[in-house]
Amino acid sequence: MACVKPAGYFTDRLGSHRRLQSAATTVVNDTGGFLMRRRVLAAALAMLGLFASAPLSAAAGDPAPLRMAVHPYASTLTLINTFRPLQQYLAARLGRPVEFYTAASFDAFVDTLMSGGYDIAISPPHFAVMAMERNYAPLLHFRAGLEPVLAVPADSPARQPGDFRGKRIAMADRTAFIRLVAVKWLADAGLQAGRDYQLVERPSHGAAVGAVKAGEADAGLTTTTALKQLPAELQQQMRAVSTGLRFPHLFTMAHGRLGEPLIGQLRQALLDFPATEEGKGFMERTAFGGYEPITEDKIRQMVPYVELYRRLESGR
């Protein structure tokens, strides 16, 4: 299990934590008030990981920055740009810096999540339920349903599970929630990976769709919302084959060490966000649609997938 990363560290592609050289780290304030620890090449940020600083700079004696992490379902730069409005809003609303984190792999994200390395985590529901056992408090989840789909070229004849027999299907990490769901969906139709279709491994859901565009796969596993967050040109070249399955979307959680007063402020800030100008734009661009409470029924719905994940991990 990975240790908690102190501020100023990043995660490389192997999940190791390495310190950014302080001499090469500065803070730049752009016109939108977005601060980023820089003089690290943008390419390094995209490849290695993960961290963009918040819209408020902390002076001596000010509260420590909050570490907000998003599961790496897309590239680092895509996630930074997508979640920047939420990061900026929370920093202004809470009156303290908020740092953005993601990870270079699903495993690295889960390791840091489970070791308590994030203050605020936006996570797939099965990982979130596991994190609740590690002192994370559930806040809200995005309103849109989490619907796994197979993205195929717009002119593809594929419409149902059997149409993927003999095809190449690009998927992200074996522990991804939508992969667990899609593999079972295909298996229920009599299709087994390696026998009836070929798995093409990719690092993220966005990369799985990119493999289809590049001709490296016949279909790419993603979600309806992740598909809508891709460049418009790529969306127009794709068509979604629905699995017909819907689940609660990404859970937002806060670590218990923040304390009830701050967790309560954070929950209320999130509830108010969709009504703000920046929140309306964020929810429209991402197709997340707003927030809903995380109920006991929704948590119970995830238990079979938590158990499946743990069986997969124990067999590695």
Instruction: Confirm whether 9-144+248-314 and 148-242 share one CATH topology.
Output: yes
Q: Please report the sign of the dihedral spanned by the C-alpha atoms of residue 16, residue 70, residue 208, residue 163.
A: positive
For the chain, residues with pLDDT lower than 70 are 1-61, 316
Q: Residue 60 has what pLDDT?
A: 54
Please state, in angstroms and rounded to a whole number, the distance separating the CA atoms of residues 46 and 58: 25
Return the pLDDT at 311. 87
Integer Cα distance of 229 and 209 in angstroms: 12
Which of the 8 DSSP states describes residue 247?
Answer: B
pLDDT of residue 265: 98
Q: Which one of 3.40.50.620, 3.40.190.10, 3.40.50.11540, 3.40.50.2300 gives the CATH number of domain 148-242?
A: 3.40.190.10
Q: Are residues 145 and 163 in contact, defined by beta-carbon separation less than 8 angstroms?
A: no
User: Domains of the chain: which residue ranges?
Assistant: 9-144+248-314, 148-242
Give the pLDDT confidence score for residue 301 in this predicted structure. 92
Res 139: pLDDT = 98
Instruction: Give the DSSP letter of residue 250.
Output: -
Are 270 and 121 in contact, with CB atoms under 8 Å apart?
no
pTM, entire model = 0.76
Side-chain half-sphere exposure of 122, counting CA atoms within 13 A: 23
Per-residue pLDDT at 315: 72
CB contact at 8 A, 106 and 175? yes
Predicted pLDDT at 103: 95
The pLDDT, as a whole number, for residue 230 is: 87
CATH class of 9-144+248-314: alpha beta
